Amino acid sequence: MEVIKNNKIDETIYTEILDNGMKIIVIPKNNTKKKYIIWSTKFGSIDNHFIEPKTGEEIQVPDGVAHYLEHKMFENENGVDSLYKMMALGLDANAYTTNDHTAYLFACTDNFFEGLDELMSYVQKPYFTDENVEKERGIIGQEIGRYDDEPSWKLYVNAMDCLYKNNPIKLDIAGTVESISKITKETLYSCYNTFYHPSNMVMCICGDFEPEKIIQEVKNRLIPREKMEEIKRIYPEEPKGINKKEKEANMGINLPTFMIGYKDELEEDRVKEDLAVQIIFNSLLGKSSNVYQELYNEGLVQTSLDTSYEYSKTYAYVLIGGESSNPKKVYEKIKETLQNEVVKKEEFERSKKKIYGDLVSEYNDVENIGRMYLSDAIKDVNSIEYIDKIETIDLEYVNKILQKLFKENESIISIVK
Enumerate the active-site residues.
Answer: 70
Ramachandran sector of residue 175 (left: φ over 0; alpha: ψ -120 to 50; beta: rest): left
Ramachandran sector of residue 54 (left: φ over 0; alpha: ψ -120 to 50; beta: rest): alpha
The reply to whether 94 and 217 lie within a common domain is: yes
The reply to whether 225 and 269 lie within a common domain is: no
Q: Which candidate, 279, 234, 247, places its Cα nearest to that of 412?
A: 247
Which DSSP helix (H) or strand (E) runs through 399?
A: helix 395-405
The reply to whether 162 and 256 lie within a common domain is: no
Give the separation between CA 339 and CA 118, rounded to whole angstroms. 53
The reply to whether 73 and 145 lie within a common domain is: yes
The reply to whether 215 and 255 lie within a common domain is: no
Q: Which residues contact 23 (CB under 8 A, 6 or more apart)?
A: 15, 16, 17, 201, 202, 203, 377
- Of 207, 233, 259, the residue that ends a domain is 233
Task: Give residue-wise pLDDT tens across range 204-244.
Answer: 999 999 999 999 999 999 999 888 888 999 999 999 999 99
Give the separation between CA 96 and CA 346, rounded to whole angstroms. 41
The reply to whether 224 and 250 lie within a common domain is: no
- Sign of the Cα torsion 290, 293, 298, 302 reads positive
Task: Give residue-wise pLDDT tens across range 361-413.
Answer: 999 999 999 999 999 999 999 999 999 999 999 999 999 999 999 998 889 99
Which DSSP helix (H) or strand (E) runs through 3?
A: strand 2-6
Could you tell me if residue 240 is inside a domain?
A: no
Contact 316, 310 (CB under 8 A): yes
Banded model confidence at residue 82, pLDDT cuts 50, 70, 90:
very high
Evaluate if residue 73 carries a pLDDT over 80. Answer: yes
- Of 233, 257, 283, the residue that ends a domain is 233
The reply to whether 138 and 52 lie within a common domain is: yes
CATH number, residue 326: 3.30.830.10
N-to-C CA span, the chain: 53
Could you tell me if residue 241 is inside a domain?
A: no
pLDDT of residue 8: 87
Burial of 76 (0-12, 13-18, 19+ CB in 10 A): middle
Provide the percentage of residues in the chain whose pLDDT is more than 90: 88
Give the separation between CA 370 and CA 35, rounded to whole angstroms. 10
The reply to whether 260 and 228 lie within a common domain is: no
Number of neighbours of residue 403 by Cβ within 10 angstroms: 12
pLDDT of residue 372: 95
Could you tell me if residue 153 is inside a domain?
A: yes
Amino acid identity at 285: L
Q: Which residues contact 93 (CB under 8 A, 6 or more apart)?
A: 83, 86, 87, 105, 106, 115, 119
The reply to whether 287 and 170 lie within a common domain is: no
Give the separation between CA 46 and CA 193, rounded to whole angstroms. 17
Please give the tally of structural domains in the chain: 2
- Strands of 49-51's sheet in order across: 58-60, 49-51, 232-233
Beta-bridge partners for 231:
none
Could you tell me if residue 150 is inside a domain?
A: yes
Could you tell me if residue 239 is inside a domain?
A: no
pLDDT of residue 285: 96
Could you tell me if residue 151 is inside a domain?
A: yes
- Sign of the Cα torsion 232, 173, 139, 102 reads positive
pLDDT of residue 256: 96
pLDDT of residue 265: 85
The reply to whether 157 and 295 lie within a common domain is: no
Task: Give residue-wise pLDDT tens across range 308-339.
Answer: 999 998 899 999 999 999 999 999 999 999 99
| Residue 45 dihedral angles phi and psi, to the nearest 5° | -65, -25
Evaluate if residue 358 carries a pLDDT over 80. Answer: yes
Evaluate if residue 88 carries a pLDDT over 90. Answer: yes
- Of 201, 233, 265, the residue that ends a domain is 233
Q: DSSP per residue over 102-162, as a string? A: EEEEEEESS-HHHHHHHHHHHTTS----HHHHHHHHHHHHHHHHHHHT-HHHHHHHHHHHH
The reply to whether 224 and 280 lie within a common domain is: no
pLDDT of residue 267: 74
Q: Which candidate, 370, 371, 257, 373, places its Cα nearest to that of 306?
A: 257
Give the separation between CA 307 and CA 328, rounded to whole angstroms. 17
Give the separation between CA 277 and CA 57, rounded to whole angstroms. 41
Banded model confidence at residue 252, pLDDT cuts 50, 70, 90:
confident
> What is the extent of the structural domain holding 229?
2-233
Could you tell me if residue 111 is inside a domain?
A: yes
Q: Which residues contact 183 (CB under 8 A, 6 or more apart)?
A: 61, 62, 64, 65, 68, 133, 137
Give the separation between CA 168 and CA 302, rounded to whole angstroms. 34
The reply to whether 223 and 323 lie within a common domain is: no
Could you tell me if residue 132 is inside a domain?
A: yes
Q: Which candidate, 35, 37, 38, 210, places its Cα nearest to that of 109?
A: 35
pLDDT of residue 409: 87
